[in-house]
Structure 1
Amino acid sequence: MRKVSDSSAGFDRDDALSPVGRETLQDRVYAQLRNSLINGMFDAGDVLRIVDLAARLQTSTMPVREALGRLVSEQALESLPNRSVRVPLITRERLDDLARARILIEGEMVALALPNLTTHDFAILKQTNVDCDLAFEQHGKDIGHVTSALNQRFHFHIYRAARSPVLIPIIESLWLQSGAIIRKAAHIHDEQGGLAATNHHWALIDALEARDMQRAVQSLSNDIGRSFDLIRGRLNGERDDAAKAIAHG
């Protein structure tokens, strides 16, 4: 650490530095774990152990324990009997519930944002999409953490234009619970191919620029629904395979 010089006139070292509050470290740990979950850095079913996370974050176990407790209360994680926590498993019921909530609330945010979006906003949205397309072209599926962050930037730029401080935290909570689902959907998309990841984003921009609320909400619904539909298809396939195995067992 650099030494603080006493030579500056009027400089009081006691006023310049203050102890880092315990809550500050807790908030930073929570924010980092929360961001990792939102951006799909963990798979469904991953067990998160306090000691391991503390070592990776280079901190004590206390702020990690408290951050995990907050994330459990937000339903982003679930407690296990051995005092560990895990990313919730993906079930058909949870999948349908999250999809329904996201389409409902985020669709309302798009409708609220539409009259407030400016030419400058559209330029930002288009550039974000271009950046995402370029990332895929240059790095392929190995750039998932970057494209996830760009996807979040795209959506929340629209949502902030809705000017609803009440709904934004609700959407953040839904994204927090959806991170592992989007991660799994991305893996399935990589295996199966299909539409470009930004295809529905471009359709959404076109609808917003045309001030077509119905088409904009439908484009958003298509965007959200694609990820959830990919996993529904995988779950249905696994269920059918299990049924066949039992029938031939």
Structure 2
Amino acid sequence: MNPRGALSPVGRETLHDRVYAELRRSLIHGMLDAGASLRIQDLAETLQTSTMPVREALGRLVSEQALESLPNRTVRVPVITREKLDDLARARCLIEGELTALALPKLSVEDFERLRSLTMECEAAFTSDDPDKPHHTSELNHAFHFYIYRAAGSAVLIPVVESLWLQSGPYVRAAAQIHDELRDMSGTHHHWALIEALERGDKARAVKALKNDITRSFNLVRRRLADTENGEEARAYG
């Protein structure tokens, strides 16, 4: 995907932070393909700014492992690998599972109503013909999860999860594309199970539903990687 189609122009105020936030948002919501090269000049033109804030933002994102710098000074979205996939899935289950457990006793009736509302909005977005559906559903999914995580009240763990989501962007995009091809189970299936467990105060079931939700997307990509590897082996011996 051309990065120009995934970005929006930013205003002039607090320019460096705005450019960084726009690029960060695009990565978190899986709007950029794995392996896509990002040219500073192209991004500056798309964002309607100079190259300086773009260069700085890319440097910050490289340091956060959301992007990678190649020897020829090219910056790209990291390619998908089985090792990184497994590492991210494991880390997200550990940290987000802990935040879910911490949030459980702090959620109110009003909070559950908000979680149900977000889930219904996400369901509607999944079945819509909106050309911006992948972005919209990703934003709603992010809002749902972080509503729970922020309820945990951990100033230390939230930035860790934000970093993990930032690194997960290419996998989120790949999983969404595979999901559409397979017409797999509803993208909100595990959200409803998580809400029910939280309302019942069942920590074990809540954490299990959360982990099922996380691993489902990663498993879609993992199976596609396995299919690709098996196909290459078959061609080699055919």
TM range (shorter): over 0.9
Match of 2:212 in 1: 222
Report percent identity of matched pairs. Answer: 63
Structure 2 Cα separation of the partners of residues 247 and 140 of structure 1: 43
Structure 2 Cα separation of the partners of residues 124 and 141 of structure 1: 26
Match of 1:150 in 2: 140
Structure 2 Cα separation of the partners of residues 244 and 129 of structure 1: 42
Match of 2:170 among 159, 163, 180: 180
Shift of 1:180: 1.0
Match of 1:91 in 2: 81
Structure 2 Cα separation of the partners of residues 60 and 133 of structure 1: 39
Q: Deviations over 1:66-120 (max 9, x none)?
A: 0000000000000022222111011000000000000000000000000000011
Which amino acid is the alignment partner of residue 108 of structure 1?
A: E
1:50–1:84: 8 Å Cα contact kept in structure 2?
Answer: no
- The structure whose Rg is larger is 1
Structure 2 Cα separation of the partners of residues 135 and 120 of structure 1: 23
Structure 1 Cα separation of the partners of residues 126 and 223 of structure 2: 24
Structure 2 Cα separation of the partners of residues 160 and 215 of structure 1: 20
Q: Secondary structure at the match of 1:197?
A: coil
Match of 1:164 in 2: 154
Match of 2:37 in 1: 47
The answer to whether residue 46 in structure 2 is matched with residue 66 in structure 1 is no
Structure 1 Cα separation of the partners of residues 109 and 198 of structure 2: 11
Shift of 1:135: 1.5
Q: Deviations over 1:46-78 (max 9, x none)?
A: 111100000000000000000000000000000
Match of 1:208 among 198, 220, 225: 198
Match of 1:122 among 109, 112, 136: 112
Range with bigger deviation, 136-145 or 73-82: 136-145
Shift of 1:195: 0.8
Match of 2:100 among 102, 110, 121: 110
Paired positions, count: 227
* Backbone CA RMSD of aligned residues: 1.2
Structure 2 Cα separation of the partners of residues 137 and 173 of structure 1: 29
Shift of 1:139: 2.0
The answer to whether residue 53 in structure 2 is matched with residue 27 in structure 1 is no
Structure 1: gaps (5+ residues):
1-19
Match of 1:8 in 2: none
Structure 2 Cα separation of the partners of residues 136 and 227 of structure 1: 15
Q: Deviations over 1:36-55 (max 9, x none)?
A: 10011101101111000000
Match of 2:125 among 122, 131, 135: 135
The answer to whether residue 178 in structure 2 is matched with residue 192 in structure 1 is no
